[in-house]
Amino acid sequence: MMKINKKALLMLIILIGLMMAIFSILSGGFFKAIIILSQGGYGLLYSLILIFASEIVKSLRYYFLAKRNGYKLKLKNSIIVQLTGFFGGIITPANLGGIASGASVLASYTNISLGEALGYASIQSFYDGIIPALISLTISLYYLPESILAFLISIAIITIWIAAFNKRVKDSLILLTRKILRNKYSDNLEKEINLFQSSLKIIKKDLLLSFSLFLITIVSYLIQIISIFVLFLKFNFLTLFISLMFYYVMASFPTPGGEGGVEYGLSITLPMHIVIEWRTVYVISALLSGLILPISIKRMKNYDITKSIAFQSKDNNKVSS
């Protein structure tokens, strides 16, 4: 029987509670949000299904990344990785938990280094960050001054990703690690940092892969736009697309699930009652993704996490899932 980590469970409950508390305040009260949902009809169910569909489409990014590098990752397992990250991202600030949890499950399925897995998980975040940031940076100029925060965060996102690919930043991080640790673990961590950046740079080296991941991302956005449209059956495509781009940019807001930031991003172009309804559906879909956790946790328990500290050659990592 699997033992339950009580501290981890308590932290999970606190994070979910904090996210729901912030959402409750923004929506004018939790019960008000429930009333809005109860009046939504079948549109809510369709929207929920479409949001899940968009996440399944995004899981193809993990699948193609694994195939590109010769790792055997089944499609159903890539979906488990994506949904685990979806849940982790909604309860942690700026999707940090989504990257970490997705990477951990990916490493357990492919038996690769955690540093390399973090690189692949970060690629998911890269596409969901850099595309909306570039678009929002331009479009936000039209909506000033209401969009000033989205404008500033777009600049921050672009700057962070430029730094992530920069060799000097990596070398500085390694130097800092050596100064702090001053022991054998600094060498192991240095290898993980190198693996992280080298796996991240795959999208620069393989343009076909990069374009494929871009198309997958755009398709997922189109599905999410439809998930908003089915709730209200109004607003043109351009308005909903702009709203979604602002939404993704503000998801980097440093609160659990980006609460406060994402609502602000959507409200730049959409009425608040629409913002509350769709955001409620989105949060519910993310929390329901947590139902996959027993599978993810069981898989991670069978994976020796210490392997992620040791440098592994790619030939040894190409194992069946």
The 3-state secondary structure of 235-269 reads: CCHHHHHHHHHHHHHHCCCCCECCCCHHHHHHHCC
Q: Pick the closest to residue 252 from 161, 168, 185 (CA basis).
A: 161
Identify the helix (H) or strand (E) that includes residue 100. Answer: helix 96-110
Inside any domain, residue 8: no
> At which of 200, 224, 253 does a domain end?
200
Residues 217 and 297 placed together within one structural domain of the fold: yes
- CA-based diameter of the chain, in Å? 61
For the cut 50, the answer to whether the pLDDT of residue 199 exceeds it is yes
Residue range 195-203: mean pLDDT, rounded: 68
Report residue 127 as tokens.
């596409």
Inside any domain, residue 125: yes
Inside any domain, residue 316: no
Are 205 and 53 in contact by the 8 Å Cβ rule? The answer is no
Residues 298 and 214 placed together within one structural domain of the fold: yes
Q: How many residues does the chain have?
A: 321
Residue range 301-311: mean pLDDT, rounded: 55
How distant is the alpha carbon of residue 117 from its chain centre? Answer: 14
Q: Look-up: residue for tokens 């800092």?
A: 176
| Percent of the chain whose pLDDT exceeds 70 | 68
d(CA 251, CA 256): 9
pTM comes to 0.76
Residues 66 and 192 placed together within one structural domain of the fold: no
d(CA 37, CA 273): 11
Residues 195 and 240 placed together within one structural domain of the fold: no
pLDDT tens sequence across 164-177 = 776 666 566 656 66
pLDDT of residue 255: 76
Residue range 258-275: mean pLDDT, rounded: 83
Residues 6 or more apart in contact with residue 23 via CB below 8 angstroms: 30, 33, 257, 259, 279, 280, 283
User: What range does the domain containing 229 cover?
Assistant: 59-159+208-308
Residues 172 and 273 placed together within one structural domain of the fold: no
3-class DSSP assignment, residue 93: strand
Cα dihedral 65→67→73→77 (10° resolution): 50
Residues 176 and 125 placed together within one structural domain of the fold: no
Residues 251 and 195 placed together within one structural domain of the fold: no
Q: Where do the DSSP E strands lie in the chain?
A: none
pLDDT tens sequence across 7-32 = 545 554 555 555 555 445 444 454 45
Number of Cβ within 10 Å of residue 194's Cβ equals 15
d(CA 170, CA 160): 12
Inside any domain, residue 269: yes
Residue range 122-147: mean pLDDT, rounded: 87
Residues 104 and 214 placed together within one structural domain of the fold: yes
Residues 124 and 247 placed together within one structural domain of the fold: yes
Residues 147 and 216 placed together within one structural domain of the fold: yes
Residues 179 and 154 placed together within one structural domain of the fold: no
Q: Pick the closest to residue 106 from 64, 166, 53 (CA basis).
A: 64
Inside any domain, residue 304: yes
Inside any domain, residue 294: yes
Residues 278 and 226 placed together within one structural domain of the fold: yes
**Total domains, the chain:** 2
Inside any domain, residue 279: yes
pLDDT of residue 88: 83
3-class DSSP assignment, residue 178: helix
Inside any domain, residue 13: no
pLDDT of residue 279: 86
pLDDT tens sequence across 37-48 = 445 556 777 888
Are 54 and 262 in contact by the 8 Å Cβ rule? The answer is no
How distant is the alpha carbon of residue 85 from its chain centre? Answer: 6
